[in-house]
Amino acid sequence: LTRMTAIGIDIGATKILTCLVDADGAILREVVSPTPPASASAVEDAVAAATSEVLEDIGGDVTPIGVSVAGWVSRDRKSVLFSPHLAWRHEPLADRLSARLGQPVFVENDANAAAWGEFVFGAGRGFSDVAVVTVGSGIGAGIISDGRLLRGGNGLAGEFGHTVVDPRGPDCACGRRGCVDSLSSGRALERHYNAIEGSPEHGTTSGVEILELARAGKPSAVAAFHELGRWLGTSLGDLVMYFDPQIVLLGGGVSGAGELLTIPTERALAETIVAHEEVAPTMVRVATLGHTAGAIGAANLALKAERQEVQEVQAQLNA
Amino acid sequence: LTRMTAIGIDIGATKILTCLVDADGAILREVVSPTPPASASAVEDAVAAATSEVLEDIGGDVTPIGVSVAGWVSRDRKSVLFSPHLAWRHEPLADRLSARLGQPVFVENDANAAAWGEFVFGAGRGFSDVAVVTVGSGIGAGIISDGRLLRGGNGLAGEFGHTVVDPRGPDCACGRRGCVDSLSSGRALERHYNAIEGSPEHGTTSGVEILELARAGKPSAVAAFHELGRWLGTSLGDLVMYFDPQIVLLGGGVSGAGELLTIPTERALAETIVAHEEVAPTMVRVATLGHTAGAIGAANLALKAERQEVQEVQAQLNA
């Protein structure tokens, strides 16, 4: 009994993307709904409504559900321990949704889900060791090591955004100083641009506008991406020392800049790690699944987890 | 057909430790020989001689051999890509030894082998996610994530010693600045002690002497361990962000200081990572296998690898 489809749900700060995904990573059906701003239970209601809609379309078959959330997910992938955007604290999200929808549910950190999607279906195909860094308003990362998604002892592995690149750098909301997040995120891009332009600290030029200006060739906007890439590449030096990936993929909104971002990043990475003839330098490339990476990855992880549970039950029955 | 014993060989800078190790990690026989200083082939001869001695004792049975070396080991665990102490460059060590000894041979980085030994038989037992940091004259690390040893895309994962803790810190032989190695190794301990004592840069007090002085309660020697632990704990902040281990074990010669080292290290680690009620703080403890960790770990990894190869052959025969 092999499931062929799964549902992937990506709960973002402003919208919820619910997708029916097949075993090849193709999206067969897609529902976009706004993320209710107020309570965690309203978010749960919205997720359940969108999922029910997709489930009705495909009839009553068992369909594993993967949920991608910004936050810390427990090692057993059932609970959200903490979420910066939503009011979830030790929230048993998988069990709650499973009870409502009558389907197996698996929760995953959004950066991990996106990384898995890129590894299986995107720019990470064919590699065994891949780091996927999501550069949006903040920074997330997911690590695939020898074909396996790293989760860590508490489910918190891969917190690249809150490793320290400059101990004398700006204070970070996490309590540390000079975190990668504070120097290489979309928010940092705006700060770099304002600094280059000589604008006040909180300028009115958004990341999307800076990207448009850079594409149009405005030197200060291009320079802002170079500054971002310089910090990001330097920060990736330690990530490469720790995980030794064959390739680093950049996803998230800021990666829409393409080579405006990847070229200075790859250069700074190559500069911080002394070249060895024994080992090829790590490549930096753009992720290819875009905003659907999280939903596609979560769906595939759910499919995989459900198959494994079925196999374990069969092994017990045979024993 | 289940092997019960394996040979573990730890090639150190000054001596070669060759052990016959059983499946419970107990050392049944041990040969210590000096590391020939000159050529790589002389080292290979010395390893072959010590191993033949142990093999003769136990008769002709197939006995997998694990070799722990300071250096970069290829992902397939057959070659030494680079070694700082020995003249090995892309040296096919496993095949050479295997041809001479008539046994299956697996090579492993020394920090990885020691980490695996501690995980299976030492202070890491019962945990799924363990980081083992070897603090000797330099710094090595091996990472166990979800019960698996991390190797990376080129076999170089876990290079904690050459991650950067202070971008404005001392130059490191690796080409970077402010590496963990330059601030938290045994060599750094001597520098910290000399700085506290007001002695010249290259003092004559060795790490072993500083340890004796600290144990005898000399304040400047205790302070040197506190300074080392402060840097080490701060550096471990990023390691914990990346790998999320349940426990960090400190091995190597400097860890002989016990709580003189682990207490300031654990405190600095707790200070650099803001406490969360959702997750327990990472423990820092002393490794327990001592100087035999590498040989025991290498032997167990060889046993495991050989079992896996036998299973794969059986599966092919059954198919």
Digit-coded pLDDT (tens) for B229-265: 999 999 999 999 999 999 999 999 999 999 999 999 9
Nearest to B166 among A153, A167, A276 (CB): A167
Say if the Cβ atoms of B238 and A238 lie within 8 Å. Answer: yes
pLDDT at B139 over 80: yes
Euclidean distance between CA atoms A15 and A278, whole angstroms:
46
Cβ A246 vs Cβ B153: under 8 Å: yes
**What is the model's pLDDT at position A2?**
53
Distance from CA of A312 to the nearest CA of B (A): 18
Residue-averaged pLDDT of chain B? 93
Tokens 């749960």 found at: A44
Euclidean distance between CA atoms B178 and B111, whole angstroms:
21
**Torsion angles phi and psi, residue B299, rounded to 5:** -65, -45
Nearest to B157 by CA among B137, B174, B134, B140: B140
Least confident of A190-194, B164-168, B173-177, B273-277: B273-277
Say if the Cβ atoms of A176 and B273 lie within 8 Å. Answer: yes
Cβ A110 vs Cβ A127: under 8 Å: no
E-strand stretches of A53-208: 65-69, 72-73, 80-82, 89-91, 105-109, 130-135, 139-145, 148-149
Interface of B with A in 277-306 (CB under 8 A): 278-280
pLDDT at B31 over 90: yes
Helix, strand, coil fractions of chain B, as percent rounded to 5:
45, 20, 35
Interface of B with A in 14-53 (CB under 8 A): none
- How far is C-alpha A15 from the geometric centre of its chain's CA atoms? 15
Is A127 an interface residue toward B (CB < 8 Å)?
yes
**What is the model's pLDDT at position B149?**
97
**What is the model's pLDDT at position B310?**
86
Predicted TM-score (pTM) of the model is 0.94
Cβ B3 vs Cβ B306: under 8 Å: yes
Nearest CA in chain B to A246: B153
Helices in chain A by DSSP H: which ranges?
Answer: 40-57, 93-101, 110-121, 180-184, 186-197, 207-215, 219-243, 259-272, 293-318
**What is the model's pLDDT at position A311?**
87
Least confident of A38-42, B11-15, B265-269, B288-292: A38-42
The 3-state DSSP class for residue B97 equals: helix
Say if the Cβ atoms of B278 and A81 lie within 8 Å. Answer: yes
Say if the Cβ atoms of A154 and B82 lie within 8 Å. Answer: no
**What is the model's pLDDT at position B1?**
42
User: Chains A, B: CB contacts under 8 A, how many?
Assistant: 135
The pLDDT tens digits of the residues spanning B83-127 come to 887 888 899 999 999 999 999 999 999 999 999 999 999 999 999
A87 - beta bridge partners?
Answer: none
What is the pLDDT tens value at each position of chain A, 319 positions in all?
455 899 999 999 899 999 999 999 999 999 999 999 878 899 999 999 999 999 998 876 789 999 999 999 999 999 999 888 788 889 999 999 999 999 999 999 999 999 999 999 999 999 999 999 999 989 999 999 999 999 999 999 999 999 999 999 999 888 899 999 999 999 999 999 999 998 766 667 899 999 999 999 999 999 999 999 999 999 999 999 999 999 999 999 999 999 999 999 999 999 998 777 778 889 999 999 999 999 999 999 999 999 888 888 888 888 7
**What is the model's pLDDT at position A1?**
42
Tokens 């996490």 found at: A174
Say if the Cβ atoms of B154 and A243 lie within 8 Å. Answer: no
Tokens 């700082």 found at: B84
| B94-B96-B99-B101 Cα dihedral, nearest 10 degrees | -70
Burial class (CB in 10 A: 0-12, 13-18, 19+), B141: buried
The Cα-based distances of A125 to A121, A297, A298 in angstroms read: 6, 13, 17
Mean pLDDT over B151-176 rounds to 92
Cβ neighbours of B158 in A, within 8 Å: 242
Q: Which long-range contacts (CB under 8 A, 24 or more apart) does A184-188 make?
A: A184/A135, A184/A139, A184/A228, A184/A231, A184/A232, A184/A235, A185/A135, A185/A136, A185/A137, A185/A138, A185/A139, A185/A161, A185/A254, A186/A135, A186/A136, A186/A137, A186/A138, A186/A252, A186/A253, A186/A254, A187/A137, A187/A138, A188/A228, A188/A231
Identify the H or E element spanning B192.
Answer: helix B186-197
Nearest to B253 by CA among B303, B211, B190: B211
Confidence of residue B46 (pLDDT cuts 50, 70, 90): very high
**What is the model's pLDDT at position A47?**
96
Nearest CA in chain A to B82: A278
Is B244 an interface residue toward A (CB < 8 Å)?
yes
Euclidean distance between CA atoms A185 and A204, whole angstroms:
17
**What is the model's pLDDT at position A179?**
95
Say if the Cβ atoms of A167 and B165 lie within 8 Å. Answer: yes
Cβ neighbours of A239 in B, within 8 Å: 242
Cβ neighbours of A242 in B, within 8 Å: 143, 157-160, 163, 239, 242-243
**What is the model's pLDDT at position A3?**
59
Distance from CA of A5 to the nearest CA of B (A): 28
Tokens 């993307």 found at: A17
